[in-house]
Amino acid sequence: MRLNVFCSFLFLLLCGLPIRCCDLEQFFTEKQVSVEESTSTSQVIFRGFTTAATPTLPNDVRGVFTAYFELINTYKGANALDVWVTSTYRNVNVSFFGRDPECDESIAIPEEYIIFGNVKDGELRATSIVKWDENTDQRVWSTLGWSKWTDWSACSVTCSTGIQQRIRHCLLADCPGFNVEQRHCNLFGCPDTVNPLALNEGKFFHPSRDRWQKVPDRPTAWRLKPNSYIWLPSSQLFPDLNARAFPKEFTLFITLRLQNDSNMGTIFSLRSRRKQDTYLSLEIAGFDLKLVHATSNGTDVVRIPTTLDDKKWHQIAIGVRDDSVVETYIDCQWSRTDILKKDTIDIPKDSDLIVGYLFSGDLEQMSIVSDPTMVSLQCSNLKTPIIDPTVKDNVKEENKLKLFKGQKKRQNIYHKRKIL
Confidence grade of residue 243 (pLDDT, cut at 50, 70, 90) = low
Count of C-beta atoms within a 10 Å radius of residue 409 = 11
Domain match, 53 and 7 both: yes
Domain match, 342 and 252 both: yes
Domain match, 404 and 373 both: no
Coil/strand/helix, residue 44: strand
* Residue in 312, 317, 313 with CA at minimum distance from that of residue 333: 317
Q: What is the CATH number of the domain that holds 247?
A: 2.60.120.200
Confirm if 153 and 165 have CB atoms less than 8 A apart: yes
Domain match, 325 and 408 both: no
Coil/strand/helix, residue 231: strand
Q: What is the mean pLDDT of the chain?
A: 85
Determine which of 45-49, 259-263, 277-281, 318-322 has the lowest per-residue pLDDT on average. Answer: 259-263
Is 419 domain-assigned? Answer: no
Determine which of 256-260, 279-283, 392-396, 409-413 has the lowest per-residue pLDDT on average. Answer: 409-413
Domain match, 223 and 269 both: yes
Q: What is the CATH number of the domain that holds 406?
A: 2.40.50.120
Structure confidence at residue 406 (pLDDT):
55
Domain match, 203 and 137 both: no
* Residue in 224, 245, 273 with CA at minimum distance from that of residue 368: 245
Domain match, 224 and 368 both: yes
Confirm if 292 and 359 have CB atoms less than 8 A apart: no
Count of C-beta atoms within a 10 Å radius of residue 126 = 23
Q: What is the mean pLDDT of residues 281-293?
A: 94
Is 307 domain-assigned? Answer: yes
Is 160 domain-assigned? Answer: no
Query: In sequence order, what are the residues at sequence separation of 6 or more whose Cβ sits closer than 8 angstroms to the Cβ of residue 103?
Result: 22, 23, 24, 26, 27, 53, 55, 56, 65
Domain match, 346 and 409 both: no
Q: Total domain count for the chain?
A: 2
Structure confidence at residue 87 (pLDDT):
62
Structure confidence at residue 246 (pLDDT):
92
Determine which of 51-55, 59-63, 385-389 has the lowest per-residue pLDDT on average. Answer: 59-63
Domain match, 106 and 193 both: no
Q: What is the mean pLDDT of residues 119-145?
A: 93
Say how far residue 406 (Cα) sits from the centre of its chain: 27
Domain match, 306 and 200 both: yes
Structure confidence at residue 86 (pLDDT):
58
Q: Does position 1 have pLDDT exceeding 70, yes or no?
A: no
Q: Does position 108 have pLDDT exceeding 60, yes or no?
A: no
Confirm if 224 and 363 have CB atoms less than 8 A apart: yes
The range of the structural domain enclosing residue 239 comes to 188-377
Domain match, 83 and 214 both: no
Cα 166 to Cα 163: distance, rounded to the nearest angstrom: 11
* Cα angle, residue 109 at apex, residues 106 and 110 outer, rounded to 5°: 160
Cα 339 to Cα 301: distance, rounded to the nearest angstrom: 12
Is 125 domain-assigned? Answer: yes
Cα 19 to Cα 285: distance, rounded to the nearest angstrom: 41
Residue with more model confidence, 103 or 269: 269
Q: Does position 104 have pLDDT exceeding 60, yes or no?
A: no
Q: Does position 166 have pLDDT exceeding 60, yes or no?
A: yes
Structure confidence at residue 2 (pLDDT):
41
**Max Cα-Cα span within the chain:** 82
Structure confidence at residue 201 (pLDDT):
84
Is 116 domain-assigned? Answer: yes
Structure confidence at residue 5 (pLDDT):
43
Domain match, 216 and 141 both: no
Q: What is the pTM of this model?
A: 0.82
Is 250 domain-assigned? Answer: yes
Structure confidence at residue 415 (pLDDT):
44
Structure confidence at residue 418 (pLDDT):
42
